């Protein structure tokens, strides 16, 4: 009898009701949704921060690299003024590669005179047509790190002796300079302890004269000039900076460089994400080495390029690698606000560069 009472007094085991299970499931889903939302928001913020860091890093490199190169534009040794430089290359104005007379030269992307056969002008379909077309600028200078001291010069035989053995193959464009005069020419010989500057087409484009003096007279002897032991010979450098589309479809900053051993060039991709470049040039009109106004490249004359341009202001438009935003993001560029049709994030960076070999 006692065991029966014991069995009857035991509490009955019962599970969760359907209502309780439904409530628990709803609460679980709410909590899971919150966790997922936090995860997605965190991931989106991480991607945004990573892309912004990528944009800023690329902008710093682009601006810093071009500024360092541009500062030395027109450096042809101790005598760097345009009025003291003789460019004896044959037809130097026919190509930006051989146009050493300006040191720095630009092309306005919106101008009809833009050399579209030489440099690209990519257009982003998702950007308004009113956005200015990207500019191009070129730099010419001497490579002081690849120089040799002159030990003798025979202008009649067009031979310059140098100290040590150089590494200039035949056809290399060189610059010889003392503190009074500089000359740009193409070496026509293969010697390692001397360079030749004969007239002729044994190399391309060749020299129009063997005379290295001013004024440049394209004849057999031209205007003679003798360099002494205070002179140095340096390899000539030519760079062109422009925007093009990389192999993966992303806009990028490119640099085209003069090759050693001739007048050919090689293009290389520098930085991805650079979508547009605008360059304005500061002109000094009163000789105080301070720019009095900024102008577009198309408004500057040849004479002004050679003497009056003392600064350059570079403005870059960079975009993210992927479309991060949920909606098109407005951006202000060159004083105008634009609305794209894509969801890339864009930032604008600018710097002003003083040309060290101008206004001195």
Q: How far apart are CA 218 and CA 238, in angstroms?
A: 23
Question: How high does pLDDT run on average in the chain?
Answer: 90
Which helix (H) or strand (E) covers residue 318, if one does? strand 309-319
8-58 residue pLDDT tens: 555 656 667 777 778 878 787 887 877 777 766 676 666 667 888 999 999
Grade residue 273 by pLDDT with cuts at 50, 70 and 90.
very high
pLDDT-based confidence at 357, cuts 50/70/90?
confident
Instruction: Examine the pLDDT at 64 and tell me if it is beyond 90.
Output: yes
**Euclidean distance between CA atoms 307 and 18, whole angstroms:** 89
**What pLDDT sits at residue 287?**
87
Tens digit of each residue's pLDDT (9 = 90 or more) over 282-336:
999 998 989 999 999 999 999 999 889 999 999 999 999 999 888 999 999 999 9
Asked which of 11-25, 100-114, 222-236, 309-323 is least confident by mean pLDDT, the reply is 11-25
**pLDDT score at 358:** 77
By mean pLDDT, which of 170-174, 202-206, 265-269 is the weakest? 202-206
Strands, DSSP E only, in 98-177?
104-107, 136-154, 159-162, 173-177
Q: Would you say residue 5 has pLDDT above 70? A: no
Q: Tokens 């600018």 correspond to what residue? A: 350
Check pLDDT > 80 for residue 80: no
pLDDT one-digit tens code per residue, 118-168: 999 998 899 999 999 999 999 999 998 999 999 999 999 999 999 999 999
Domain range list for the chain: 53-354
pLDDT of residue 325: 86
pLDDT value of residue 14 = 65
The answer to whether 333 and 131 are in contact (CB under 8 A) is yes
For the entire predicted model, the pTM comes to: 0.87
For residues 300 and 302, what is the distance between their CA atoms, to the nearest angstrom? Answer: 7
């Amino acid at each position: 009898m006692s065991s029966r009472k014991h069995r009857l007094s035991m509490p009955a085991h019962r599970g969760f009701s359907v209502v309780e299970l439904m409530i628990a499931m709803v609460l679980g889903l709410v909590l899971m949704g919150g966790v997922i939302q936090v995860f997605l928001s965190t991931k989106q913020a991480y991607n945004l921060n990573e892309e912004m860091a990528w944009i800023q890093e690329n902008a710093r490199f682009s601006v810093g690299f071009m500024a360092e190169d541009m500062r030395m534009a027109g450096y042809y040794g101790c005598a760097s003024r345009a009025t003291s430089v003789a460019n004896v290359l044959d037809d130097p104005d026919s190509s930006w590669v051989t146009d050493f007379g300006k040191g720095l030269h630009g092309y306005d992307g919106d101008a009809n005179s833009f050399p579209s056969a030489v440099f690209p002008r990519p257009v982003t379909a998702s950007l308004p047509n009113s956005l200015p077309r990207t500019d191009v600028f070129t730099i010419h200078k001497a490579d002081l790190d690849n120089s040799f001291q002159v030990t003798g010069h025979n202008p009649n035989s067009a031979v310059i002796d140098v100290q040590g053995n150089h590494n200039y193959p035949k056809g290399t464009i060189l610059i010889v300079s003392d503190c009074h005069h500089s000359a740009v020419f193409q070496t026509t010989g293969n010697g390692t302890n001397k360079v030749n500057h004969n007239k002729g087409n044994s190399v391309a484009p060749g020299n129009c004269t063997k005379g290295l003096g001013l004024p440049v007279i394209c004849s057999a002897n031209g205007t003679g000039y003798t360099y002494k032991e205070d002179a140095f010979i340096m390899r000539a450098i030519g760079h062109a900076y422009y925007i093009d589309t990389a192999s993966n479809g992303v806009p990028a900053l490119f640099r085209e460089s003069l090759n050693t051993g001739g007048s050919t060039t090689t293009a290389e991709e520098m930085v991805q994400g650079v979508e547009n470049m605008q360059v304005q040039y500061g002109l000094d009109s009163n000789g105080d080495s301070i720019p009095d106004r900024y102008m577009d490249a198309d408004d500057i004359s040849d004479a002004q390029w050679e003497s009056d341009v003392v600064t350059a202001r570079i403005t870059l438009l960079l975009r993210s690698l992927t479309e991060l935003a949920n909606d098109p993001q407005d951006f202000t560029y060159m004083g105008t606000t634009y609305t794209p049709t894509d969801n890339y994030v864009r930032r604008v960076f600018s710097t002003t560069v003083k040309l060290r070999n101008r206004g001195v």
